[in-house]
Homo-oligomer: A and B are copies of this chain.
Amino acid sequence: MTTHGTTHSGSSTTFDPWYDHYADRTAGLSASEVRALFAVASRPEVVSLAGGMPFVSALPPELVTASLARVMRDSGPQALQYGSGQGTPELREHILEIMALEGIRGSVDDVVVTTGSQQALDLVTKLFIDPGDVVLAEAPSYVGAIGVFRSYQAEIAHVMMDADGLIPSSLRESIAALKAAGKTIKFLYTIPTFHNPAGVTLSWQRRIEILEICRSNGILVLEDNPYGLLYFDSPPPHAMRSVEAEGVIYLGSFSKTLAPGFRVGWALAPHAIREKLILANESAILSPSAFSQYAILEYLRGADWRAQINTFRSVYRERRDAMLTALQEHLPEMSWTVPTGGFYVWLNLPPNLDSKEMLPRAVKELVAYTPGTAFYADGTGRQHIRLSFCYPTPDAIRLGVRRLTAVINGELELLNTFANTGQLEAVHESAHVSNPPPNIN
């Protein structure tokens, strides 16, 4: 048995004839926890609070259908052809309009269209990171960004955050410690608005302070802002890029305000960097999809896209409310962040619970979430859970939180059974909740 098991677990080395051919950077290439969840969460009986899929069904399909018809009627040959490596100029003009909603003034020449903002992340990292260079990122940070940074052998240094986002004093301390250790810090990666996964928003004062810290330390800021227009009440503070052009690369996306299926995002970069970004884009994909760009262009021209963003806001606000109310009802002793926009709530588990170890039991109880460990490069995060309210209906969210509550209670009871200290019992008592999950298969 042992021999067989050893052979089997070693199969990727034993049976891959190219095993010793891979580049060093592939050591950082591993399946994220979010990825493994996609398969599980796609089973219809599971309530998934795991993925970050936008609720595209809130987009009336006729708006897209009409746009597509206009593309083929007015721009067929261009939409079907290779295009500019920088992206279609007309779309870049519209992108400026969209960014203006968050206080950004830029030149159409400095926008580079990419295959989702994920690809912009990849290109920026490729441009700046030599193996061992440091990327500063919030603790926690976006799992897909951590994956990109690792794939170029960056060292990721997490910086503490609180309910107002990244903590400036922690940033200063991190920079000082890293510099003292002789490290090369290339950029700060941040999601200042409706953070993924933390759900918090960086205050205006801190935006200014963090820009100043980065400026004085020669650190570029990579501002990732896919959710900024999806606020629930009042608009969030303006983008960091609105006050600082030379030190910020700004990433935007149509994935959350329109649809991710087109894979269109963009970077707004300082002039010199933008030239390199275009070359890197051409090297990677020749040119972003002309068809996708024309489809979005016709949508922006022909549909009331501002009203559609309002529709998305209403949908997500209702779901956020459903989640917060359910958490308050079922898990009142626990703590979580209260997002004022975006897709995510960040839940803190009681001590001694492990979100990663608990996940299989949760899936058995037909609820999925993303364990906090996915959002840290250093293996921490076990006491946290990311809950997504973007995709499931309010009813499904309530059901999911009830199921999650049962899982957490079950874990706490298990801990209690094996506990021989008063401390663990106290944890169990304080977090006990009463609603069992409905017995739905």
Contact = CB atoms under 8 A, between A and B. Distances in A.
Interface in A69-105: 69, 72, 76-85
A24 interface: yes
Contacts of A270: 16-18
A144 B286 contact: yes
Contact of A22 (B35, B255, B261, B276): B276
A57 interface: yes
Nearest to A255: B82
Q: Among A24, A29, A83, A273, which residue has the most Cβ atoms of chain B within 10 A?
A: A29
Contact of A260 (B16, B19, B82): B82
A65 B56 contact: no
Interface stretch (A124-132, A167-175, A229-237): A124-132
A262 interface: yes
A186 B78 CA distance: 38
Given A17-B270, A115-B289, A147-B283, 12 more contacts: A18-B220, A18-B270, A23-B128, A23-B133, A29-B283, A32-B282, A69-B69, A81-B261, A118-B285, A144-B283, A151-B283, A263-B291
A306 B118 CA distance: 35
A200 to B, nearest CB: 23
A97 B123 CA distance: 33
Interface string A268-301: 0010110110011011111111111011000000
- Interface size band for A: 35 or more
Contacts of A325: none
Nearest to A290: B261
Contacts of A148: 283-284
A118 to B, nearest CB: 5
A109 to B, nearest CB: 14
B81 A56 contact: yes
Nearest to A149: B283
Nearest to A293: B261
Interface string A146-163: 011001100000000000
Contacts of A179: none
A26 interface: yes
Given A19-B272, A295-B291, A61 B72 contact: yes
B61 A65 contact: no
Nearest to A17: B246
